[in-house]
Structure formats: C-alpha cells, structure tokens
Amino acid sequence: MKIQYKIFLLIVLVFSLIILVNVANDNYIKIKVNLMLSTDCRSCENELKKSLYEDKYFETYVKSKGWVKSFIQTTSKQKTTYLITLRKPIFKIKNNIYYDQNFNQFFMPHRFNLPTLHIKKDDLKDEIIDQAELIKKELINLKSLNYSNLSGWQIITDKAIVKLGKVDIGERVKLLNKITNNLRQSNSNVINLDLRYQQGYVLKI
C-alpha cells in the first residue's frame, strides 16, 4: 500500500513539473534582432544592443536615430523579431556627419574612411551629383572633393591636388589616373595639376 502511494505521489509530482514548465514557456518571449548593415558600424550595433537590453521603448529609440533607414517589427506568440536597416554613408562632410545615397545629411556614431565632399546645398543638382559619384568610383585613394559653381571641381588624392573644372569630367578623370599611375611607379611627391585646358595640362611638382 505504501509503495502504491509513493508511486502515485511521484506521478503527481511529474505532472506538476510538466505543467510548470509549460506555463514558464508560455510566459517566455524570444527576441530576435536582424540588423541589416549596409556597412560595418560596430558603434551602431552596440548602441542598439544596449537599448534593447535596457530600454523598454526600443522601437521609439530606434526610430529616433537618423542613421536608421528602416525598422520592421513582427510579433508572434513566443517571438518578437526586429529587422533594422542602416543608412549607407557614401561621402563624409565632417567627422560623424555624412551624405547618404540620396545626398541627405545624417549623423552616424562611427568614423568611416570616406572622401570628404565640400559643396553648397544649392549646388547639389543631378549633374553635379553624378560627377561626384563618377569621381569617387574611378579614383583610388581619393581624399576630398571640393565643388565651386565658379571653377568646378578641385580634388585631392594621395598623389595630387587637382583642378578638374566643370566639363569633360569623365575624360579628365581618365587622364588623371594615367598621370598618377606613372607617379606611383616613379615614387614622386604630391603634385599640383590643372586639367581644365582643352589641350594638355599644367603640372607643378
């Protein structure tokens, strides 16, 4: 009789534990974060993690950040998923201030090694934007670009300070690449170069 009673108590205990585990699982919510990084931004990631663990208004916090491009939240019974996409910086204005792909300014808590673009807001027109993107794409070791509506582009690379002007930018960039490649082979110092002439160019070493 005692053995049967002990077996009964054991069965009751096992069922009680199963019920408690199920209740605990029902109250446990998994959180999954997918962070879509258009570029490596460890500072952004750390800020988001800190807010996720400490701030109960995580969605409000994320949407208040200018460096966040989009925020999507999906919730099921036991899981909440956040899909966060960051804006992509393509030019630097100054430390931590950048232009995105639409040439809108924004702050990002990370310092990227990007060429600095100096240009007035009124000069940000489609043709000028296309020229800036072309210069960045075609020139390696580009450090800065400066646009003036009067004199056009002046750029700085690791090998040259160059006046490109306002027209025939594609052809002048090709010529610049040819000249700077020769300079690298000869280990020349930084030069001053004016490519705004219809024929030839002015070179100062």
* Both structure tokens of 133: 């993107």
Domain membership flag for residue 36: no
Domain membership flag for residue 34: no
pLDDT tops 50 at residue 23: no
Q: How many domains does the chain have?
A: 1
Domain membership flag for residue 6: no
pLDDT for 32: 64
CATH number, domain with residue 151? 3.40.50.11690
What CA dihedral angle connects 110, 190, 197 and 169, to 10 degrees? -30
Tell me if 126 sits within 8 A of 103, measured CB to CB.
no
Distance between CA atoms of 153 and 114, rounded to whole angstroms? Answer: 17
Domain membership flag for residue 133: yes
Mean pLDDT of 156-182: 90
**Per-residue DSSP letter, 50:** H
pLDDT tens for 48-71 read 888 877 767 888 888 899 999 988
- The residue type found at 68 is V
pLDDT tops 80 at residue 158: yes
* Both structure tokens of 46: 């750390």
pLDDT for 98: 96
> Phi and psi of 120, rounded to 5°?
-75, 150
pLDDT tens for 106-140 read 999 989 999 999 999 999 999 999 999 999 999 98
Residue scoring higher pLDDT (29 or 136): 136
Distance between CA atoms of 80 and 76, rounded to whole angstroms? Answer: 6
Residues 6+ apart with CB under 8 A from 15: none
Domain membership flag for residue 51: no
Q: What range defines the domain where residue 184 resides?
A: 115-204
Mean pLDDT of 13-38: 48
Residue scoring higher pLDDT (85 or 132): 132
Which helix (DSSP H) or strand (DSSP E) does residue 169 occupy?
A: helix 169-186
Tell me if 161 sits within 8 A of 154, measured CB to CB.
yes
pLDDT for 205: 67
Residue 65's closest CA among 34, 96, 30?
Answer: 96
Domain membership flag for residue 93: no
> Phi and psi of 103, rounded to 5°?
60, 35
Domain membership flag for residue 187: yes
**Per-residue DSSP letter, 88:** P
pLDDT for 31: 60
Tell me if 54 sits within 8 A of 104, measured CB to CB.
no
pLDDT, mean over the chain: 80
Task: For residue 7, name the pLDDT band (cuts at 50, 70, 90).
Answer: very low
Domain membership flag for residue 75: no
Tell me if 145 sits within 8 A of 165, measured CB to CB.
no
